[in-house]
């Protein structure tokens, strides 16, 4: 049987991803000069705040979780850490600055797309670690993040067509 570790770190990281995402989108919205982009980024800040609240509620319910069958705990945790280290919200030092100071709306939306893709990957891994009832909640958030990525792509197409 696989070893167990605390799920609070897994959920805590999701909370931190959403908190940082909210901050990034809020700062970017404040810096945006294009009204459509400003409103768009404000919407995403609200979505991140909503997801943060979902994971905060989940945090109190999570105990120990089992790593996927056939996985070595140390290796799997190294993998999860690598996901986080490469997440756009955790690497590079100052993603809030990168997005808030994006020279044009296209750059801002491209960077936001990278945040969302990295979050999708992390949430997908979370689903394999959590009990079914909690995994279903993560799946809902994951599907919303997928929708966000589609919305970002549509905005990117619109901005490129306007350029």
| Residue 72 CB coordination number (10 Å) | 12
What's the average model confidence in pLDDT over 119-129? 85
More confident residue, 2 or 66: 66
Identify the three-state secondary structure at position 92: coil
Residue 43 pLDDT class (50, 70, 90 cuts): very high
pLDDT of residue 1: 29
Residues belonging to the chain: 163
Residue 93 predicted with pLDDT over 70? no
Residues 6 or more apart in contact with residue 41 via CB below 8 angstroms: 25, 26, 28, 29, 32, 108, 112
More confident residue, 152 or 27: 152
pLDDT of residue 153: 95
Closest CA to 14 of 134, 132, 123: 123
**Dihedrals φ, ψ of 29, to 5°?**
-65, -40
Residue 2 pLDDT class (50, 70, 90 cuts): very low
Q: Measuring CA to CA, how many Å separate 160 from each of 37, 89, 109, 135?
A: 13, 25, 11, 37
Average pLDDT, the chain: 81
Residue 115 predicted with pLDDT over 80? yes
Domains, the chain, in order of start with CATH, read 4-162 (1.20.1260.10)
What's the average model confidence in pLDDT over 78-106? 71
pLDDT of residue 4: 37
pLDDT of residue 148: 92
Residue 135 pLDDT class (50, 70, 90 cuts): confident
Task: Please answer whether residues 54 and 145 qualify as being in contact, where contact means their C-beta atoms are separated by less than 8 angstroms.
Answer: no
């Amino acid at each position: 049987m696989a070893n167990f570790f605390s799920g609070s770190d897994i959920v805590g990281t999701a909370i931190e991803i959403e908190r940082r995402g909210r901050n990034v989108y809020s700062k970017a919205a404040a810096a945006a000069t294009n009204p459509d982009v400003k409103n768009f980024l404000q919407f995403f800040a609200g979505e991140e705040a909503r997801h943060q609240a979902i994971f905060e509620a989940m945090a109190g319910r999570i105990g120990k979780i089992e790593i996927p069958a056939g996985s070595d705990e140390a290796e799997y945790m190294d993998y999860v850490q690598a996901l986080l280290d490469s997440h756009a919200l955790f690497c590079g030092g100052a993603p809030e600055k990168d997005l808030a100071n994006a020279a044009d709306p296209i750059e801002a939306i491209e960077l936001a797309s990278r945040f969302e893709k990295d979050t999708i990957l992390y949430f997908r891994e979370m689903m394999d670690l959590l009990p079914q009832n909690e995994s279903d909640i993560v799946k809902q958030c994951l599907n919303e993040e997928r929708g966000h990525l589609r919305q970002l792509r549509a905005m990117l197409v619109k901005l490129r067509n306007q350029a």
